[in-house]
Structure 1
């Protein structure tokens, strides 16, 4: 019969893995060259564990890729984590976290779109007034 792990041991291993994932993301996104062997030495784990962790980070949305020229993991230059500031939920809003996140993103996007339209209208007005003055 297989040995049963206690919940405390399982949670401890999960926390260690989560901490390792965060460290890999920070190292790869920072300055320096971090190949699989370097990361394994730094994190005191196997190279295979590094491969698995990089795959987890990729699935989670961090676009890590291996640069063959530098023999190091990289993240595209413009990549940034999206903001994770909590948004207030109105009393009648759906309870689903996915729906809530979608609503918050949509509201944010609409706000940015409205600001863009306002700036675009202002630019059009300036261009039209400049055309009238020269015409």
Structure 2
């Protein structure tokens, strides 16, 4: 464990520059005293690092020093190549850079790890978009990504589902999220931090205005909060249903045994629930709310009458 920690400490200093003992301790999840001992061990091994005293001090490597040690295990090397999405990188204008980076990483790996990485690319393919779509056209994605990288404000002309359907807004792009094959921009605007679908951007005008992301903002934390709020708003009601074992499996709820089981399930709206429960056919019976049960029953009556007429008039 200590050897792995020493490698991690060295790579942290190489990638981030000066870091205090406390910062290193937090990253490595050890005590400050342990960091002191590890630094002494690296110095004794001939690693050219030194510490600066004072409030703005810390440890850093001698300028120009870089280790050739990657510290990658076989699993880490596999993960690095598995995480690389060529289509995504190409959309962001980084396709060539990704290919070059993979070549450099492969060249730096020992022969055994190169073989592991090669097998990953031969045997696994990540395809983010869903089955029933070719992915959204995002002509402004590269420009959005550039603004995110450069921390430059932009003016968006944006289409949305509610009135006014088209808006123009100055925003500060904080980050991009790829969710199920669709790109979302997280940006600060007049109403605070909001989420915008990149494929709904009709026009983008970059501005020569830099901005700083507020302290404490984290893209991953914001996205988790956004998804939680989205789900809370999505499922605003509840339905009581009886399900066969197959219906419970398809709906993703536990089955209590026996021929039927009763369950309470969240629903987005009566319209949406009506369509979703009809998909389950004879594997579901809606108990409540009464309005939803009546709508399903009426649909079944209409279908039964239609198929009865079709059967009587069919040519045999």
TM-score normalised by L of structure 2? 0.20
Higher RCO (CA-CA < 8 Å; seq separation 6+): 1
Q: Which has the higher helix share?
A: 1
TM-score normalised by L of structure 1? 0.45
- Higher Cα Rg, which structure: 2
Q: Which has the higher strand share?
A: 2
